[in-house]
Amino acid sequence: MPERTNMADATPIRPIPAGEVTEWTYESDVVVAGYGVAGASAAVAAATAGAEVLVLERAGGWGGAASMSGGFIYLGGGTPLQKACGFEDTADNMKAFMKAALGPGVDESKIDAYCEGSVDHYHWLTEECGVPFKMSFWGEPGWEPPGDDGLQYTGGENAAPFNATIPPAPRGHVPQMSDKRTGEQGGGYMLMKPLTDKAAELGVGAEYDMRVQALIVDTGGRVVGVQAKQYGKDVAVRARKGVVLATGSFAYNDDMLEAYAPRLIGRPAASIEEHDGRAIRMAQALGADLAHMDATEVAFFCDPQLFIRGILVNGRGQRYINEDTYPGRIGQATLIENQNQSFLVIDEQAYEEGMSRPTSSPQLRHQPKRVAESVAELEAEMGLPAGALQATVDVYNRHAANGEDPLFGKKTEWVKPIGSPVAAIDLRGMTGGFTLGGLRTSVDSEVLHVSGEPIPGLFAAGRCTSGVSAGGYASGASLGDGSFFGRRAGISAARS
C-alpha cells in the first residue's frame, strides 16, 4: 500500500505574499491544480470562455483517480440515454432522490442546480467534448456493467426505502469502452481522454510533476497564484484571473483522517496516493470553510450477484439492510453502523445461481468458509449465540414464502426462502472508501471563507470540495459533480 501523507512532514502551507515572489516561472489567466475530471472540466470551460489556461498536475500525466474508475457519471432528468433505454425521469424526481439519499445536510442549492442542469451537462459531455455512451441498459446486480452498456442503477433508486415514494430511474451513465479494466483503464478513461483531448484542442497548457504547496495572495487578500515544486525545485505560478483547486480527496492523509473520518484509516479505496488533502489545507490557511468532513463513501467488497440472493447479517446474526439496494449503502451500513461486521448467509442453489451470472467483479466472488446442513449447525460454526441466526432466518423465511420482506422491503424478485445446505461467507472487514467532505463552495464553485464570503480569485471542484454528497452516496456522484462544478469553476475563474 502506498505511504500516506502526514501533515507534520509536509512543506508549510501558509499563504505567500505576492510581494515576496521574485520570479514567476509560469503565468496564465486561469491556473488549475489537478488534472482529473474536475480539473479537466474546469480547463475546458475556462478555455472555451476565452481564458488562457495552465493545468498543474502532480503525477506524470493527466487522469487522476477518474481515469482509473468505472466511469459512472450521475446524470438524469431525461437525458437522451435514459430516453433511448425507455426510462422517464424529471429534474424534480432526481432532486427528490438526491436530497433523500445523499444526506443528511445536503446543499440543496447545489443539488437543484445540478439536477436542473443535468441534461445540458450530458449534451456538453457528448457533443462538445466527445464522451461516448452506448444506448443500452444493464439491469442486473453489479458494481458496474460487465460489458459496454451505458446505463445502470447506481444509487438504490429502485430499492427501499426510496422506490416507495420517488419514481425510480437509472442515472448511472458510463462512457462506452470495450475491454475495459477498472483500476487500469476503465470507463473513467473514456471520460478523461475526450476531456483532455478537448483541452489540448483549445490550447490548454499542462505542466507535470507539479506539487502545489501554497497559495500566493496580493495585499488585498486576492489569490493571484500558487507556489509549487517541480522536479524538486520551487516555482511560482501566476494566475491573472483565478486559481482552481481540483486535487482530490484526503483519503491518503493520516492526520486528516484521524481528525475527520477515522473509520477510513487504513482502508482507502477508489483513491490514489495523490489524494493527500493538500488543496484543502492550503485554502484553510486562508480561512476557507469546510463541510461534511466526516462523510465517506464505503465500497462493499462482495459481488452483488451473490449478496442480493442471500441475507446479510451482522456480528450478532441479525439482518441490517435490504440486500437489493446500492452496494455503497450496504458498505456504509456495514462499516458505520455495524462495526464492519458482516456475513452473507446463502444456500447452495442461490450461490450457484449467483456464480453463474455475468459480473464485472469476479475478484469479489468469495468462497464460503462455513457450510452446514442446517442453520442451527451453521450458527454454531459461526460462534453465534444459540438461536440468534435461527431466529433471523426463521423470520426471513416465514415472509419469503409469500415473496415479502416486511422488515427491510427487499423486492419480491429477490426474496426466496433460504434452504439447505446453507453457507456463511465471512465479509468482516470487506470495506474501504474515500472521503466526501472538503471545502465549502458556492454553486458557482467559489471557495467560501468562514465568514460566508467568497475568497477572491479562488475556486474549487471535485473531491477536495463538499459537493452534492453530504453523507450518503450514489456511484457517479463524484465524477458527476466534479465535472459539473468543475465547468462552473472554470467559467467563474475565467470571468473573475
Phi and psi (nearest 5°) for 370? Answer: -130, 120
What pLDDT does residue 178 have?
80
Does residue 425 share a domain with residue 436?
no
Question: Is pLDDT of 206 > 50?
Answer: yes
Neighbour tally for 242: CB within 10 Å: 27
From 412, 429, 446, give the residue that closes a domain.
Answer: 429
* Cα–Cα distance for residue pair 418/311, rounded to 1 Å: 9
Neighbour tally for 11: CB within 10 Å: 11
Record the cell numbers describing residue 138, joined without a space: 444493464
Give how far Cα 177 sits from Cα of 145, 168, 220, 359, Å. 11, 26, 48, 16
Least confident among 92-96, 209-213, 269-273, 405-409 = 269-273
Does residue 369 share a domain with residue 352?
yes
* Cα–Cα distance for residue pair 362/22, rounded to 1 Å: 56
- Cβ-proximal residues to 201 (8 Å cutoff; 6+ apart), any chain: none
Does residue 268 share a domain with residue 152?
yes
Record the cell numbers describing residue 340, joined without a space: 464492519
Q: What is the mean pLDDT of residues 406-432?
A: 98
Q: What is the mean pLDDT of residues 429-455?
A: 98
As a dihedral over the C-alpha atoms of residue 191, residue 66, residue 104, residue 162, rounded to 10 degrees, the angle is 50
DSSP label of 203: T
What pLDDT does residue 180 have?
72
- The band of 194, judged by pLDDT with boundaries at 50, 70 and 90, is very high
Does residue 78 share a domain with residue 142?
yes
What pLDDT does residue 2 have?
42
Does residue 487 share a domain with residue 361?
no
- Convert the pLDDT of each residue in 85-116 to its tens digit: 999 999 999 999 999 999 999 999 999 999 99
Question: Is pLDDT of 29 > 60?
Answer: yes
Cα 65 from chain centroid (whole Å) = 10
Whether this prediction's pTM lies above 0.85 is answered by yes
What pLDDT does residue 183 have?
66
What domain count does the chain have? Answer: 2
| Distance separating the N- and C-terminal Cα atoms of the chain | 41
* Cα–Cα distance for residue pair 462/253, rounded to 1 Å: 17
What pLDDT does residue 6 have?
45
Does residue 251 share a domain with residue 306?
no
Does residue 418 share a domain with residue 493?
no
What pLDDT does residue 395 have?
98
Taking a C-beta distance cutoff of 8 angstroms, is the pair 201, 49 a contact? no
Does residue 447 share a domain with residue 362?
no
Q: What is the mean pLDDT of residues 312-330?
A: 98
Alpha helices in 311-402 (DSSP H): 327-332, 348-356, 375-382, 388-400
Q: What is the CATH number of the domain that holds 47?
A: 3.50.50.60
Phi and psi (nearest 5°) for 125? Answer: -65, -45
Does residue 278 share a domain with residue 369?
no
Record the cell numbers describing residue 495, joined without a space: 470571468
Question: Is pLDDT of 12 > 70?
Answer: yes
- What are the residues facing 385 on neighbouring strands? none
Amino acid, res. 24 = W
Q: What is the CATH number of the domain that holds 339?
A: 3.90.700.10
Cα 425 from chain centroid (whole Å) = 27
- Convert the pLDDT of each residue in 119-170 to its tens digit: 999 999 999 999 999 999 999 999 999 999 999 999 999 999 999 999 999 9
Question: Is pLDDT of 8 > 90?
Answer: no
* Cα–Cα distance for residue pair 452/288, rounded to 1 Å: 9
Does residue 158 share a domain with residue 135?
yes
Question: Is pLDDT of 7 > 70?
Answer: no
What pLDDT does residue 270 have?
87
Taking a C-beta distance cutoff of 8 angstroms, is the pair 98, 106 a contact? yes
> In terms of residue numbers, what domain contains 371?
302-429
From 393, 409, 429, give the residue that closes a domain.
Answer: 429
Share the mean pLDDT of the chain. Answer: 96
Does residue 270 share a domain with residue 372?
no
Q: What is the mean pLDDT of residues 455-484?
A: 98
Closest CA relative to residue 189, chosen from 131, 247, 126, 122: 131
- What are the residues facing 152 on neighbouring strands? 172
Closest CA relative to residue 479, chosen from 37, 120, 34: 37
Burial level of 234, CB count in 10 A (0-12/13-18/19+)? exposed
Identify the three-state secondary structure at position 266. Answer: coil
Burial level of 109, CB count in 10 A (0-12/13-18/19+)? exposed
What pLDDT does residue 186 have?
76
Does residue 149 share a domain with residue 230?
yes
From 375, 406, 429, give the residue that closes a domain.
Answer: 429
